[in-house]
Amino acid sequence: MDFKYDISAAIANVISVDVNDILNSIEIPPDKKMGDYAFPCFKLAKILKKPPVDIANDILEKIVKPNFVKSIDIKGAYINFFADKSFFVKEVLLKANDKDYGKSDIGKGKTVVIDYSSPNIAKPFHVGHLRSTVIGNALYKIYNAIGYNCVGVNHLGDWGTQFGKLISAYKKWGSKESIEKNGISELMKIYVKFHDEAEIDPSLNDEARGWFVKMQNGDSEALKLWKWFYDLSIKEFERVYNMLGVKFDAYTGESFYNDKMDAVVEELKNKELLKKSNGAMIVELDDLDMPPCLIIRSDGGTLYATRDIAAAIYRKKTYDFDKCLYVTAIDQNLHFAQLFAVIKKMGYDWADNMEHVPFGLVSLESGKLSTRHGNVVLMEELLKEAIDETKRIIDEKNPELPDKENVAKQVGIGAVIFNDLYNGRIKDVVFSWKRMLNFDGETGPYVQYTNARACSIIKKAGEIDFSKADYSFVSDEAAFETCKVLNDFGKKLIDAANKNEPSILSRYLVELSQAFNKFYHDNPILVDDISAKAARVEIVKAVNNVLTKGLNIIGVSAPERM
Residue 507 lies in a domain: yes
- Give the torsion sign (CA, 136, 137, 142, 144): positive
Residue 296 lies in a domain: no
| Domain shared by 142 and 176, yes or no | yes
| Domain shared by 71 and 202, yes or no | no
Three-state SS at 23: helix
Q: pLDDT of the chain along its 562 residues, tens only?
A: 688 999 999 999 999 889 999 999 999 999 888 999 999 999 999 889 999 999 999 999 999 999 899 999 999 999 999 999 999 999 999 999 999 999 999 999 999 999 999 999 988 888 889 999 999 999 999 999 999 999 999 999 998 888 999 999 999 999 999 999 998 889 989 999 999 999 999 999 999 999 998 998 899 999 999 999 999 999 999 999 999 999 999 999 999 998 999 999 999 999 999 999 999 999 999 999 999 999 998 877 778 899 999 999 999 999 999 999 999 999 999 999 999 999 999 999 999 999 999 999 877 666 555 545 555 678 888 899 899 999 999 999 899 999 999 999 999 999 999 999 998 999 987 767 677 777 778 999 999 999 999 999 999 999 999 999 999 999 999 999 999 999 999 999 999 999 999 999 999 999 999 999 999 999 999 999 999 999 999 999 999 999 999 999 999 999 999 8
Alpha helices (H) in 462-529, listed in sequence order: 477-486, 489-498, 503-522
pLDDT of 242 reads 97
| Domain shared by 395 and 455, yes or no | yes
Tell me the C-alpha distance between 139 and 114, whole Å: 8
Please state at what angle helix 220-244 crosses helix 130-145, rounded to 10 degrees: 60
Cβ 345 vs Cβ 273: under 8 Å: yes
Three-state SS at 82: strand
Buried b (16+ CB within 10 A) or exposed e, 492-529: bbbebbeebbbbbbbbbbbbbbbbbbebbeebebeeee
pLDDT of 1 reads 60
Alpha helices (H) in 284-398, listed in sequence order: 304-319, 333-345, 379-397
Domain with residue 129: its CATH number is: 3.40.50.620
Cβ 322 vs Cβ 130: under 8 Å: no
Tell me the C-alpha distance between 74 and 11, whole Å: 14
pLDDT of 300 reads 78
| Domain shared by 362 and 394, yes or no | no
Where does a domain end: 346, 368, 390? 368
What residue numbers bound the domain in which 503 lies?
379-426+438-553
pLDDT of 302 reads 76
| Domain shared by 157 and 63, yes or no | no
366 class by beta-carbon count within 10 Å (0-12 exposed, 13-18 middle, 19+ buried): exposed
pLDDT of 435 reads 76
pLDDT of 110 reads 98
Neighbours of 453 (CB within 10 A): 19
Tell me the C-alpha distance between 415 and 438, whole Å: 8
Cβ 159 vs Cβ 255: under 8 Å: yes
| Domain shared by 255 and 216, yes or no | yes
Cβ 14 vs Cβ 41: under 8 Å: no
What's the total number of domains in the chain?
Answer: 3
Reference 36, options 97, 92, 98; nearest CA is: 92
pLDDT of 433 reads 67
| Domain shared by 504 and 466, yes or no | yes
Residue type, 529: D
Residue 93 lies in a domain: no
pLDDT of 325 reads 98
β-sheet bridge partners, residue 378: 126
Residue type, 414: G
Residue 431 lies in a domain: no
Neighbours of 299 (CB within 10 A): 11
Residue type, 395: D
Domain with residue 43: its CATH number is: 3.30.1360.70
Tell me the C-alpha distance between 337 and 343, whole Å: 10
